[in-house]
Amino acid sequence: MTDNEGSLPTGFKSGWDADLSLQELVLESSDIRAFMTELAVLVSSRLSIPGNTIHSGVTVIRQKKPEAVAASDAAASVLDELQNGFGEGPCLTALREERTLLVPDLAAETRWQDYVRTALHQGVSSILAVPLDLGGDGEAVLNLYSGRTNGFSVEDIATVETFARHAANSLRLVLRIARLRETRNDLSAAMQSRTVIDMAVGAVMAQNRCTRDTAFGILTRASNTRNIKLRQVATAVIASISGEQTIPAHFDE
């Protein structure tokens, strides 16, 4: 990252539709990390101009610790990881204080001295950090780095803040979709376990000519005696009879 001459952007490219671009990311991204990576790449590409390349990253708080989850490129990833390693810096401060934070000239900055010194060695001259309001679904911040002093104009800041609001709405949607997917997977696993156990109970009933409760009790005692899960006992029973190791749930596609 180096300081270069050139005019500063006054916003994203004309004609760019934030809502449309973000909707496309939601539809095309395979998971949350993929969405955030595309988000970082989109911001970087829209703000960068010849002479002022903008590097973008996304940091989230997980289990009270910051984690760099996405970046537009390797440089942004390194810068985010460095800041998280120091445990302080403009991006973490913006996240904790829930406000946009601009450092126009890193060389003149007196806060976060250890991080600032390291970032300067990486060629960073100005930093813009904008939190993403996830409405209680999590904490995240959009981190922007420039190799130029005063690399972000007033118009840039306003534009990125507007983009961040749209991005936060889309990210909340992605998080909810991910939770629904996890719930479906949990339900599928539970139903598959139930299917295996029901089949094993039926097999024990047939072999021992006993009631369902008695057959279930036999499986439960085997589970407790061997200290293994009931599903594993049931799978072993089915496998011993049919040789099948995988039993599909009724609603599997």
Pair 200, 219: CB distance under 8 Å: yes
**230-242 vs 212-226: helix axis angle to the nearest 10?**
110
CATH class of the domain defined by 186-242: mainly alpha
Q: pLDDT at position 159, please?
A: 85
Q: pLDDT at position 177, please?
A: 55
Domain locations in the chain as residue ranges: 18-180, 186-242
Question: Hunting for tokens 């376990």 — which residue is that?
Answer: 193
* Sites in the chain below the pLDDT cut of 70: 1-31, 62-63, 136-138, 170, 172-193, 242-253
CATH class of the domain defined by 18-180: alpha beta
Pair 135, 172: CB distance under 8 Å: yes
Q: pLDDT at position 229, please?
A: 83
Handedness of CA 24, 17, 55, 51 (dihedral sign): positive
Q: pLDDT at position 103, please?
A: 97
Q: pLDDT at position 208, please?
A: 82
- The per-residue DSSP string of 57-122 comes to EEEEEETTEEEEEEESSHHHHHHHHHHHHHT-SHHHHHHHHTS-EEES-GGG--SSHHHHHHHHHT
CA distances from 177 to 132, 174, 194 (A): 18, 5, 26
Pair 60, 48: CB distance under 8 Å: no
Q: pLDDT at position 12, please?
A: 43
Q: pLDDT at position 6, please?
A: 37
Output the CA angle 53-58-62, nearest 5 degrees: 160
Helices (H) and strands (E) in the chain, counts: 8, 5
209/45 Cα distance (integer angstroms): 70
Lookup: tokens for 92: 């973490």
Pair 124, 146: CB distance under 8 Å: yes
- Residue 74's Cβ-side half-sphere holds a number of Cα atoms within 13 Å equal to 1
Lookup: tokens for 19: 């809502």
Lookup: tokens for 76: 């942004």
44/194 Cα distance (integer angstroms): 49
104/161 Cα distance (integer angstroms): 16
Within 8 A by CB and 6+ apart from 243, the residues are none
Pair 7, 44: CB distance under 8 Å: no
Residue type at position 190: A
Question: What is the maximal distance between C-alpha atoms in the chain?
Answer: 87
